[in-house]
A and B are shown apart, each in its own frame.
Chain A
C-alpha cells in the first residue's frame, strides 16, 4: 500500500528526515516511536503533504501512485488521513458543514454521487457512536473551545466519516487522560479492516496497549534505527530511549 524509499526532508536549512524506508501493507498497524525531535511528526506531515517541509531525496508510493506529486487534498481523496497532533480551531466553520463538504469532495473525486442531507446525517449519527462524541459539539465552530480530549475524538470522528485506506495518527495520545485514550483507541480499533492500514506515531508505549501494532519502528535522528514486533515497544518503555542511543553509539 505504502512504500517509503530513502526519504529525505528538511525544513529551511535543517535536515530532519535522513533516509526513511518503510513499507506498509493492507491490514497492518505500524507504530513509529522515537525520542522528541527524532522526526516522527515530520514523517507524518510529509506523508500528509504539509508544505513547510521540502523533500530533498527519495520517493513515496501510495497504491501505485507517486504520493509526493499530489496536493494535500488529492492525497486525502486517494485515501490518506492524518489525525493532527494539534487539531486547528476554525471559528465560523462547523464540524458538520466541514465534514459534509469534505465527504462530498472526496466522493466527487471518486466518481460517486454526493450525499444528500438525510444520508449524510444517518452516516454521521452512526459514526458519532464510535467515538462517543457529543452531537451538539459538531454543530459548533470546528474545535473552537474544545478540550484536548474533544479535539482528538473529533479527529477520529472525521476519520470514521472519511473511511481512509491509510490513517496516520500523529501523537494522538498526547494530552489525553486514560478514559479519553481508551475511547479514541476503541474508535480506531473498530475502524480497522483487512483492507486498511494504520500508522501510529507516538512517544509512549501507553497507546500501543490499546492499539496493538504489528510492527514497531524506532526513529532516531531522522532514520529508522530499529524495527521489531510489539515487544520492542515494551522493551523501550522499560529501558528508555537512552538504550537505543547508547547502542547506536557503541556500534
Chain B
C-alpha cells in the first residue's frame, strides 16, 4: 500500500514540478500537453502499454520528481571524442538536450534548411504549430511530457526534388560526470515532394550518473519522397530513454526505418508509421542485442489509412544476462485501405536462463481485400547447428558467434547504404564477440 502511495506521489510531484511557462515558445501547445499529461499520468505497473517496462518505478528510484524538468548544463568536458570522425561536416549535436554549436558541423547542403525549432516557429509557423498540435493527440505520457517540456528542437526542411545522398547524423550526447541529467529534445523533418533524405541518430555519454531523455520526432514524407532513418542506440551509460517517432507518409512515398539497440539501461521506442496516401512503401526493421540488465522495448504501429500500400516489418533480438526484450507490433488496416499488403516478423533468441522476451503482435484489420501476415518466435540457440559447426573443427565460441552473426545478419543486410552497413556490421560483430 505504502509503495503505491509513493509511486502516485512521484508522478504527482513530477507533473507539478513541470512549468511550461518557463518556455517562451509554443505556449498553447505546451499547456495542452501538460493538461493531457495530468489526466493520463505516468504509466503504473498495470498500464497496458508499459506493463513489462517499469519505467516510472525506475525513474522514481533514480530521480527526485523535480529533477525531470530542469536543464543540466554540460560540465564542459570535451565530448568530441564521443563522436565518430567520419561524421564531421554533416552532424548536428545536442549536449544534455541543448544544441551545441561548437560540436555541430554542418557543411552547407543546398536545398536543405536546418534551424532551431524556435526559429522555425517563425519561419515555418503554420507547419510547426500544426505538428505540435497533432503531437498532442498522442496518448503516450512521455510524448506529452516532451511536448510540454522540450528545451530545444531541430527543424529540417528538404526542398522539392532535392536528393541528399549523405545521411545527416544527429547526436544526443550526455555529460553525466558531475550530476544526473534529464533532457527533452524534439525533431521535425519535412521532406517535400519527390525529395530524398537520410538521417542517422547516435547516442553517447560519459559519467556514471543517471540520464533520462525523451525524444519526440515527427517526420513528414510528402508525395513521391523517400526517407531513410537509422537509429543507433548504443549508450554505454545509464541512459533511460523514450523515443516517440512518427513517420507520416503521403502518396507514393517510401520510408525505411532501422532501429539498432545495443546498450543502455532502459530504451523504449514508440515507432508510429502512418500510411496516409496510396502506393506507399514502408520498411521498418530492428535489431536488439542485449546483455547485462539492459531493457529494450520496441512498440511499433503501422496504420494503413489508404489503399494499395505495402509495409514490411522485421525485428530480431538476442537477449543474454538479465536483459529484457519487449516487442509489440500493431498493424491497423482501416476500412478503406483495400489491397494493403502488411507483413510483420519478430524473432528472438534467449541466451541465458535469466533473460526474458515478451512479444505480442496485434493486428486489427477492417478491410477485406488485404494480405497480412505476422509471426513471432522465441527460442534458444540451435544446439544442433552449434554441434554441426563444432564437428568441423570450429571452436564453440567462434561457432556461437557465427550463428548469432548469421541471425543478426538478416537485419543488417537490409541496409542499402554501404558505408552505414559497414559501420553497423563492425558495431554488431564487436558486440557479439565481446559480450555474448
Query: A48 near B389 (CB under 8 angstroms)?
Result: no
Segment from B28-36, B45-53, B57-65, B391-399 that makes contact with A: B391-399
Does B406 belong to the interface (CB within 8 Å)?
yes
Pull 6 A–B residue pairs with CB atoms less than 8 Å apart, ordered by A: A84-B388, A88-B382, A88-B388, A90-B388, A102-B389, A158-B392
Does B234 belong to the interface (CB within 8 Å)?
no
Does B385 belong to the interface (CB within 8 Å)?
yes
Query: A93 near B406 (CB under 8 angstroms)?
Result: yes
**Per-residue 0/1 for A82-122: is the Cβ within 8 Å of any B Cβ (1 yes, 0 no)?**
10100110111100001101110110010000000000000
A109-B395 Cα distance, complex, nearest whole Å:
10
Given A91-B406, A92-B407: A101 and B391 interface contact (C-beta under 8 Å):
no
Task: Supply 14 further A-B pairs (C-beta < 8 A) apart from A49-B387, A49-B391, A73-B399.
Answer: A71-B396, A73-B393, A77-B393, A81-B391, A81-B392, A90-B388, A90-B406, A91-B406, A92-B406, A102-B389, A102-B394, A105-B395, A105-B398, A162-B393
Hey, which chain A residues are within 8 Å of B385, CB to CB?
Answer: 88, 90
A49-B395 Cα distance, complex, nearest whole Å:
13
Hey, which chain B residues are within 8 Å of A88, CB to CB?
Answer: 382, 384-385, 388
Given A90-B385, A98-B389, A101-B402: A73 and B409 interface contact (C-beta under 8 Å):
no
**Option from B390, B402, B403 in Cβ contact (under 8 Å) with A72:** B390
9 residue pairs, one from A and one from B, having the closest CB atoms:
A92-B406, A76-B393, A102-B392, A72-B390, A106-B393, A88-B388, A73-B390, A92-B409, A93-B406
For chain B, the bracket of interface size reads 20 to 34
Query: B388 near A71 (CB under 8 angstroms)?
Result: no
Candidate in B388, B396, B399, B403 with the most chain A CB atoms within 10 angstroms: B388
Min Cβ gap A178→B in Å is 27
A87-B389 Cα distance, complex, nearest whole Å:
11
Does A129 belong to the interface (CB within 8 Å)?
no
Min Cβ gap B409→A in Å is 5
Min Cβ gap A107→B in Å is 9
From DSSP, what is the main secondary structure of chain B's interface residues? helix
A50-B394 Cα distance, complex, nearest whole Å:
14
Min Cβ gap B132→A in Å is 44
Does B6 belong to the interface (CB within 8 Å)?
no
Does A51 belong to the interface (CB within 8 Å)?
yes
Does B410 belong to the interface (CB within 8 Å)?
yes
A198-B199 Cα distance, complex, nearest whole Å:
58
Candidate in B392, B393, B403 with the most chain A CB atoms within 10 angstroms: B393
Hey, which chain A residues are within 8 Å of B406, CB to CB?
Answer: 90-93
Hey, which chain A residues are within 8 Å of B396, CB to CB?
Answer: 71, 73
Query: B391 near A48 (CB under 8 angstroms)?
Result: yes
Hey, which chain A residues are within 8 Å of B395, CB to CB?
Answer: 73, 105
Query: A76 near B388 (CB under 8 angstroms)?
Result: no
Min Cβ gap B407→A in Å is 7
Given A101-B398, A102-B392, A102-B393: A50 and B403 interface contact (C-beta under 8 Å):
no
A205-B235 Cα distance, complex, nearest whole Å:
62
A77-B396 Cα distance, complex, nearest whole Å:
13
Min Cβ gap A196→B in Å is 16
Given A92-B406, A93-B402, A93-B403: A109 and B388 interface contact (C-beta under 8 Å):
no
Min Cβ gap A198→B in Å is 16
User: Of all chain B residues, which has the CB nearest A50?
Assistant: B387
User: Of all chain A residues, which has the CB nearest B395?
Assistant: A73
Hey, which chain B residues are within 8 Å of A105, CB to CB?
Answer: 393-395, 398
Hey, which chain A residues are within 8 Å of B407, CB to CB?
Answer: 92
Query: B391 near A82 (CB under 8 angstroms)?
Result: yes
Hey, which chain B residues are within 8 Å of A50, CB to CB?
Answer: 387
Hey, which chain A residues are within 8 Å of B392, CB to CB?
Answer: 76, 81, 98-99, 102, 158, 162
Min Cβ gap A30→B in Å is 20
- In chain B, positions 373-419 with a C-beta closer than 8 Å to chain A are 382-385, 387-396, 398-399, 402-403, 405-407, 409-410
User: Of all chain A residues, which has the CB nearest B406?
Assistant: A92
Candidate in B392, B402, B403, B410 with the most chain A CB atoms within 10 angstroms: B392
Min Cβ gap A29→B in Å is 21
Min Cβ gap A122→B in Å is 20
User: Of all chain B residues, which has the CB nearest A89?
Assistant: B385
User: Of all chain B residues, which has the CB nearest A110?
Assistant: B393
Query: B390 near A76 (CB under 8 angstroms)?
Result: yes
Hey, which chain B residues are within 8 Å of A51, CB to CB?
Answer: 383, 387
A48-B385 Cα distance, complex, nearest whole Å:
14
Candidate in A93, A99, A158 with the most chain B CB atoms within 10 angstroms: A93
User: Of all chain B residues, which has the CB nearest A101?
Assistant: B394
Min Cβ gap B9→A in Å is 50
Min Cβ gap B381→A in Å is 12
A250-B430 Cα distance, complex, nearest whole Å:
65
Hey, which chain B residues are within 8 Å of A99, CB to CB?
Answer: 392
A99-B402 Cα distance, complex, nearest whole Å:
12
Hey, which chain B residues are within 8 Å of A71, CB to CB?
Answer: 390, 396
Min Cβ gap A37→B in Å is 20
Candidate in A71, A72, A84, A87 with the most chain B CB atoms within 10 angstroms: A72
